[in-house]
Amino acid sequence: MNTTSNKQYSSSSSLASSALQVLEARWVVPVLPQGMVLEHYSVVTSDNCILAILPQEQARAQYPSARIVDLNEHVLIPGLINLHTHAAMSLMRGFADDKPLMQWLQQHIWPAEKHFVSELFVRQGTLLGCAEMLAGGTTCFSDMYFFPQSVAEAAVQAGMRANIGLLVMELLSNYACDAEDYLQKGLQARDSWRDNELLSASLAPHAPYTVSNATFEQIITYAEQLGLNIHMHLHETRIEIEESLKQYGIRPLQRLESLGLLGPSLVAAHGVYLTEAEMTSLARHSCHIAHCPTSNLKLASGIAPVDALVKAGVNVVLGTDGAASNNRQDMFAEMRLAALLAKGASGDAESVPAAQALAMATINAAKALGQDNKLGSLEAGKYADIVAVDLSAVEIQPCYDVISHLVYSAGREHVSHVWIAGELKYQKLQGQAGIYADIEPAELKEISTEWQTRLSQYLA
């Protein structure tokens, strides 16, 4: 294989430059049009964008001076987009397993966060999460956590795209004392990275049960003035709905609609318990649902009605949630589980076919971020955020349908190359450990060891 040498790894901050290069692949799955597979095609990149997608011989003839990357047993896909996570909670992976959501939050996670969460915790935990996501083919993530400036710093170090949620809630934390404090600190952090093309921001009210009507009204005003999305948890558990009925006399979604919060800028994570009328309302307002199947199952929150949501016309995307409630930030696992759960829950084997599951992790997610003109598919003019998946491994042979293989057979361990803006940020050759462009494995090991010691002492 004609790949970058070890000497080149050490001579630059990235594994390979973003100069003119031709990625020659056995297959290219551009995602748009959905279901298309191009065989023996090349993706040509220059600077940070895709220049062209052409048959291999044509690409070689048209760009004779380009650097060739030989990927003759691989499929190229757009970078995966994780639309809901709390990356810093990688430091709490396996911290309080096998607990229902509210017990998990109130008795375990929130007390531990009060004890440990700081700028350092968030920066180091997010970097650990970025490393996991990169190695699994995720090039962009939508985060929601404390200290957004620290999230930004970690994402920039890793060279990843991030939509950073500016967390808002009424609860006192190590980060802020009240909703107004959350808002002002978040907006100040956002101002510091506004010119970085890798980063964007959303206003992130935690959930209806932690945010007042007055605060929601402020959030709507800021979102409209600044052109920001709104990213929040919604209808994750039955308890959330029951408490809303007791306190407000209406269900959470109805409350949000009455406040004017529903619209194409809203990304609602989970959406497990939705009536037919609520799904119709989400579709009418062009809202997006970030489906997190593994986390919902692990916390026994339930199974989102994805088949019905899709049929209602709601844009469904995928997220992992944090590693504390999932244990993995693995978008290949989420694609597979989302497709399987939709079939099992609906009784329809044709529900969420493989191509649709892949779209949920790519172009649908880009649409939810308002960035589908830049991300989510392999098209000339879009950012060169590209993932190569090696399909040569014996455990996933033979291969009859490439897209089906990506969703049902391949896993994150088969990711061999990850480019972001045309720069190679991660590479794993057969039989070798993965190499990051901008992250030192020794640093990750130190981070993991240090925080495991601290949290283990706390648990004891």
- pLDDT, mean of residues 15-41: 90
Q: Output DSSP code: residue 144.
A: E
Q: For 203-227, how does the pLDDT look when each residue is reduced to its tens digit (9 = 90+)?
A: 999 999 999 999 999 999 999 999 9
Q: For 191-202, how does the pLDDT look when each residue is reduced to its tens digit (9 = 90+)?
A: 999 999 999 999
**Structure confidence at residue 433 (pLDDT):** 87
Nearby residues of 21 by Cβ (< 8 Å), 6 or more positions away: 44, 45, 46, 66, 67, 68, 69, 422
Residue 239 confidence class, pLDDT cut points 50, 70, 90: very high
- pLDDT, mean of residues 372-383: 98
The chain-wide mean pLDDT, for the chain, equals 94
Cα-only R_g, the chain: 21
Task: Check pLDDT > 50 for residue 7.
Answer: no
Q: For 353-374, how does the pLDDT look when each residue is reduced to its tens digit (9 = 90+)?
A: 999 999 999 999 999 999 999 9
Nearest to 365 by CA among 353, 383, 377: 377
Residue 18 confidence class, pLDDT cut points 50, 70, 90: low
Provide the CB-side half-sphere exposure for 285 (13 A, CA): 21
Q: Percent of the chain beyond pLDDT 90?
A: 92
- pLDDT, mean of residues 237-258: 97
Architecture of the domain whose range is 80-368: Alpha-Beta Barrel (3.20)
Return d(Cα 222, Cα 182) in angstroms, integer.
Answer: 13
Task: Check pLDDT > 70 for residue 158.
Answer: yes
**Structure confidence at residue 16 (pLDDT):** 47
203 phi and psi, to 5 degrees?
A: -80, 135
- pLDDT, mean of residues 138-163: 98
Task: Check pLDDT > 90 for residue 10.
Answer: no
pTM for this prediction: 0.95
Copy the structure tokens of residue 448.
């993991």
Q: Contact 67/19 with Cβ under 8 angstroms?
A: yes
**Structure confidence at residue 41 (pLDDT):** 98
Q: For 29-80, how does the pLDDT look when each residue is reduced to its tens digit (9 = 90+)?
A: 999 999 999 999 999 999 999 999 999 999 999 999 999 999 999 999 999 9
- pLDDT, mean of residues 167-188: 97
Angle formed at CA 264 by CA 181 and CA 315, multiple of 5 degrees: 120
Nearby residues of 303 by Cβ (< 8 Å), 6 or more positions away: 272, 293, 296, 297, 341, 345
Q: For 225-235, how does the pLDDT look when each residue is reduced to its tens digit (9 = 90+)?
A: 999 999 999 99
**Structure confidence at residue 363 (pLDDT):** 98
**Structure confidence at residue 262 (pLDDT):** 98
Q: Percent of the chain beyond pLDDT 70?
A: 96
Domain 6-78+376-429, CATH homologous superfamily name and number: Urease, subunit C, domain 1 (2.30.40.10)
Q: Are strands 435-436 and 423-427 parallel, antiparallel or unpaired?
A: antiparallel
Task: Please report the beta strands in 381-432, taking only residues with DSSP state E, as ranges in sequence order.
Answer: 386-390, 415-420, 423-427
- pLDDT, mean of residues 320-339: 97
Helices (H), 179-317: 179-193, 213-226, 238-248, 252-259, 276-284, 293-298, 306-312
Residue 188 confidence class, pLDDT cut points 50, 70, 90: very high
- pLDDT, mean of residues 244-252: 98
Which residue intervals of the chain bear CATH 2.30.40.10?
A: 6-78+376-429
Which residue intervals of the chain bear CATH 3.20.20.140?
A: 80-368
282 CA to centre of own chain:
21
Task: Check pLDDT > 60 for residue 121.
Answer: yes
Task: Check pLDDT > 80 for residue 9.
Answer: no
